[in-house]
């Protein structure tokens, strides 16, 4: 019984840590999606790019935000790297999580 317990406990502990780490990846991905949507909405409304990026940085402080515009669309990409990746999972895990959002820019309103 002791040998089985000596093997089972580290395996169960590792599975618990893997589950918690997976949940943190999902949360970071959701935060990237929210940041991309919020920044795209701000740029589409006509806010300055610095203010729009500040909105995204509040949601994902370590994320990189890229804003591009074409004729009438605003494209925003937010990328973030997980801060705590277990050493053995660095080979299996994505190095960056990325979310994109595209919105049509609102027409300019004359004062």
The span from the first CA to the last CA of the chain, in angstroms, equals 80
CB atoms within 10 A of CB 48: 10
Q: Is the per-residue pLDDT at 67 higher than 90? A: yes
Write the CA distances from 2 to 10, 15, 72, integer angstroms.
Answer: 13, 20, 68
Backbone phi, then psi, for 8, in 5-degree steps?
Answer: -70, -40
**How many angstroms separate the CA atoms of 33 and 35, rounded?**
5
Where residue 62 falls among pLDDT bands split at 50, 70, 90?
confident
pLDDT tens per residue across span 31-61 = 999 999 999 999 999 899 999 999 999 988 8
Tokens 């959002």 found at: 101
Q: What is the pTM of this model?
A: 0.81
pLDDT of amino acid 93: 61
pLDDT in tens, 3-28: 888 888 988 988 898 888 889 889 99
Query: Under DSSP, is residue 97 helix (H, G, I), strand (E, B) or coil?
Result: strand
């Amino acid at each position: 019984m002791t040998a089985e317990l000596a093997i089972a406990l580290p395996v169960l502990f590792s599975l618990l840590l893997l589950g918690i780490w997976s949940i943190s990846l999902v949360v970071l991905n959701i935060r990237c999606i929210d940041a991309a949507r919020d920044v795209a909405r701000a740029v589409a409304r006509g806010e300055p790019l610095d203010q729009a990026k500040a909105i995204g940085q509040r949601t994902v402080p370590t994320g990189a935000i890229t804003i591009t515009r074409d004729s009438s669309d605003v494209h925003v990409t937010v990328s973030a790297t997980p801060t705590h990746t277990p050493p053995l999972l660095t080979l299996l895990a994505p190095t960056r999580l990325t979310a994109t959002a595209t919105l049509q820019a609102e027409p300019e309103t004359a004062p």
